[in-house]
Structure 1
Amino acid sequence: MARLLVIGGGRMGEALVAGLVASGWARPEDLTVVEAVAARADELAAAHPGLDVSTTAVDGVDTVVAVKPGDAVDALDGVAPRRVLSIAAGVTTAALEAGLPEGTPVVRAMPNTPALVGAGAAAVAGGTHATDDDLTWAEEVLGAVGTVVRVPEAQLDAVTGLSGSGPAYVFLVAEALIDAGVLVGLPRPASRELAVQTLLGAARLLAETGEGPEALRAQVTSPGGTTAAGLRALESGGVRAAVIDAVVAATERSRELGA
């Protein structure tokens, strides 16, 4: 019997499979992916030798639901998993529990797209029957493709607004930096390379030095210097407020969709 069943062989489902294998958590033959689209099933089997790709789910197995939110409940119809980890955005643990055998542990998660390159940020929340062991299991699975934190389920909409939608905010900043570099005279390829590395390097400083963003910003901001002039322009343009508004708007929209 498979160690883990993944229902849904899309980008996130495949990212989990690849991450679990790369981390040594499982071998391809320990995993089964349920994928209804024949062409996609063939792609998965070719890309991951040894992986069991099926069209039907089996009972009694730890199961990840990695389908579109509108398909999540139906994907578990008639299935009796050992426990469930759902990465279907906006689908509550209560909605999933209602269609499962009584007492089935359900953990809901909100990952983000950088999981595709092993650099995801995810939050997990347990349902009515989920124990600490179930949450630890979910953290191990998602930890193969990034960082995981625990939150109450009521906070998952805020997670969606921050880290779920957050990559799009960063991509918008990257676009702006690249265009700005071109505006001030850089060739576009050079501007792109410099902008991407600047974002990557700044993120690594935050992650690896342990210093807060305020301290790191102060270190690069000399009195009366170029960075101070640039920061003044950003504050005048309301960038800080716009980012806060974006997170709030995305959080509120997540709540609306969940309702």
Structure 2
Amino acid sequence: MIENKKICFVGAGAMAEAILSGLLDHKIVKPGQITVTNKEDRFRLDELVYNFGVVADRTQTYSSIQQADILILAMKPKDIEKALLDIREWTRPDQLFLSVVAGVSTATISHFLGHAAPVIRTMPNTSAIVGLSATGMCLGDHVRDEHVRLARTIFESIGLVFITEEEKLDAITGLSGSGPAYVYYLVEAMIKGGMDVGLSYEDARKLTLQTVLGAATMLSETGEDPAVLREKVTSPNGTTARGLDTLRSYQFEQAVRECIRQATQRSKELGQMFSIQK
């Protein structure tokens, strides 16, 4: 039961904050069960303690790591090797390791730990901050059903969880891991477009956000194919048709698809840089 588990975040960035916020907002654990630690930024630890009431480990004794049942690895990919080599002697095979580190394989994490602890690799996105992440999850060696249940409990507190094979996690990174930024870019463009035709920034922003929210809700609640919904609002020779024709002329679909392909490729490249090769 997760209510009896001690959780330690190794790394204290935005994703760590989003996850611990989700856990506390849903009352899945109590603040005293969560410890946060990082290598250098003590001010950041103070901030999390003040905002959430969690415990900060500001020492280099690694007591929080030794005592943890679950360790959530939330450092940058370039830092993971040194971080794991630094803490490995204070870790145990009966601890569960959950990684939110982009591109780094479960095999690499196990290699740096030097023992057979269960490792689950995940790819949430920044919508975790508002509890609406789409989190891809893959299972490393030595993972049992109880570990999957614990991981699901943690990541379902910040949104949807999708379990998949590890080789597909780069694609999930390219689509949903980076996906919020694509939507924000679209929203930026729509706001600017509204301003181009005479709306104030405030009005264009409100109208755009409501439009995007409404469209996403329609897709979610009706279950209809997006192409079907698009056709329903597109009258022949109407305003929507003119707008869509313009997007096609700029190869909008091809640009979005290539965007996802390139982000996926970059995730693979990062994996090759920071993971051991089997």
TM-score, scaled relative to structure 1: 0.94
Instruction: Give me the whole-angstrom Cα distance separating, in 2, the residues matched to 1:48 and 1:167.
Output: 25
Gap change, CA 1:253 and 1:58, over 3 Å in 2: closer
SS across alignment from 1:211: coil
Aligned to 2:121: 108
Instruction: Give me the whole-angstrom Cα distance separating, in 2, the residues matched to 1:250 and 1:150.
Output: 20
Write out per-residue CA displacement over residues 137-181 of structure 1, whole angstroms, 9 at most, x where no aligned residue: 212211111111011000111011101111111111111101111
Q: How does 1:199-214 map to 2 (within 5 A)?
A: 199-214=212-227
Instruction: Give me the whole-angstrom Cα distance separating, in 1, the residues matched to 2:145 and 2:139.
Output: 8
Aligned to 2:190: 177
Range with greater deviation from structure 2 (144-153 or 58-67): 58-67
Q: 1:102 Cα shift?
A: 2.4
- Any stretches of 5+ residues in structure 1 without a counterpart? none
Gap change, CA 1:256 and 1:35, over 3 Å in 2: closer
- Given the alignment of the two structures, is residue 17 of structure 1 paired with residue 20 of structure 2, yes or no? yes
SS across alignment from 2:97: strand
Instruction: Give me the whole-angstrom Cα distance separating, in 2, the residues matched to 1:68 and 1:20.
Output: 22
Letter in structure 2 aligned against 1:64: I
Write out per-residue CA displacement over residues 208-247 of structure 1, whole angstroms, 9 at most, x where no aligned residue: 2211211211221122221111111111211011100100
Q: 1:35 Cα shift?
A: 3.1
Instruction: Give me the whole-angstrom Cα distance separating, in 2, the residues matched to 1:73 and 1:140.
Output: 27
Aligned to 1:43: 47
Q: Would you identify which runs of 4 or more consecutive aligned residues in structure 1 move more than 3 Å?
A: none
- Given the alignment of the two structures, is residue 58 of structure 1 paired with residue 65 of structure 2, yes or no? yes
SS across alignment from 2:243: helix
Instruction: Give me the whole-angstrom Cα distance separating, in 1, the residues matched to 2:96 and 2:178.
Output: 27
Q: 1:101 Cα shift?
A: 4.5
Instruction: Give me the whole-angstrom Cα distance separating, in 2, the residues matched to 1:235 and 1:132.
Output: 47
- Given the alignment of the two structures, is residue 29 of structure 1 paired with residue 42 of structure 2, yes or no? no
8 Å contact from structure 1 (residues 2, 29) kept in 2 = no
SS across alignment from 1:99: helix
TM-score, scaled relative to structure 2: 0.88
Instruction: Give me the whole-angstrom Cα distance separating, in 2, the residues matched to 1:236 and 1:192.
Output: 25
Instruction: Give me the whole-angstrom Cα distance separating, in 1, the residues matched to 2:149 and 2:245.
Output: 45
Aligned to 1:80: 91
Q: 1:135 Cα shift?
A: 2.5
8 Å contact from structure 1 (residues 7, 66) kept in 2 = yes
Write out per-residue CA displacement over residues 108-142 of structure 1, whole angstroms, 9 at most, x where no aligned residue: 01111111121111100011222233223212211
Write out per-residue CA displacement over residues 59-109 of structure 1, whole angstroms, 9 at most, x where no aligned residue: 251111111112223333323151100001011111100122522000001
8 Å contact from structure 1 (residues 109, 123) kept in 2 = yes
8 Å contact from structure 2 (residues 104, 270) kept in 1 = no
8 Å contact from structure 1 (residues 2, 32) kept in 2 = no
- Given the alignment of the two structures, is residue 197 of structure 1 paired with residue 210 of structure 2, yes or no? yes
- Any stretches of 5+ residues in structure 2 without a counterpart? 273-278
Structure scoring higher RCO (CA < 8 A, sep ≥ 6) equals 2
Q: 1:2 Cα shift?
A: 5.2
What's the % identity of the aligned pairs? 40
